[in-house]
Amino acid sequence: MNINNLFGVKDKVVLITGGSRGIGEMIASGFLANGAKVYISSRKIKDCDATAKRLSEKYESECISIPADISDLNGINKLFTNFDKYNNNLDILINNAGAVWGEPLHKFSEDGWDKVMDLNVKSIFFMIQKFLDLLKKNTTSDNPARIINIGSIDGINTPYYENYSYSIAKSAVHKLTSVLAAKLIKDNIICNAIAPGPFPSKMLGSAVEHDYSVISKKNPSGRVGMPEDIAGLAIFLASRAGQYTVGETITCDGGLVASAGHDLTND
């Protein structure tokens, strides 16, 4: 029952897609601060490299950049090949890379549909497929490997914004999580999802012009999410403490879903 045994992730090998900023960077910070070896991937090489360097220096722990565009199978294969040069096993896979698209219903574009579905849903399935053997490498019933998929409360509530493909894709992520969890638990791989609410990020910032005060006031908790909120939940799911939690989608939203999706933009 020692806290370090319950929540320890020291020396775990972690891969986080979309890890160069926002929620991905927050989760990477949490694992690095607790002694894990973290690999981050994102589409923009310069940003990915800069974040890895900064986090390595800040936490005095190894964060390695492996840039890749995983919206198609070629990018996923490239990421796998480059990761395999560093490590031949993987303890924790965090599928965080995502995109959003907003347009009115009457002119919502095919590009907006396909881009979001490819990155937010298809890439998760094929990332898990590609990295499955590495996840199986060292896993045991006493120390299972973990997959954490990042969904969204927009996949649970009906969103205010017209982000049709995004909310539907995130709902699909939650369902995909439970389907794969039932399959993978037999291989000692635990799969869960997190459905974040509002966190400071480029994605949310563009919608509110980086003024989070209105959202904070309308959140039951009176604020937007902090790095400790999302990193703490991810560490729980990746540690001994979360070993009996399987196939769940856990909200991390300050009470928005519990408050029936309280409107963030209007009284």
pLDDT in tens, 198-213: 998 766 545 555 677 8
**pLDDT value at residue 153:** 95
At position 106, the amino acid (one-letter code) is H
Integer Cα distance of 51 and 265 in angstroms: 32
Short-list 184, 182, 150, CA closest to 169: 150
Which of 161, 166, 212, 244 is the catalytic position? 166
Q: Are strands 63-65 and 37-41 parallel, antiparallel or unpaired?
A: parallel
Per-chain mean pLDDT for the chain:
93
Q: What is the mean pLDDT of residues 181-197?
A: 98
pLDDT in tens, 219-264: 999 999 999 999 999 999 999 999 999 999 999 999 999 986 445 5
pTM: 0.93
User: Of residues 218 and 123, which shows the higher confidence score?
Assistant: 123
Neighbours of 181 (CB within 10 A): 20
Which domains, and CATH codes, for the chain? 3-252 (3.40.50.720)
Short-list 35, 45, 27, 31, CA closest to 10: 35
Active site residue 166: yes
Identify any residues that bridge with 38 across adjacent strands, giving them in sequence order.
Answer: 14, 63
pLDDT in tens, 24-45: 999 999 999 999 999 999 999 9
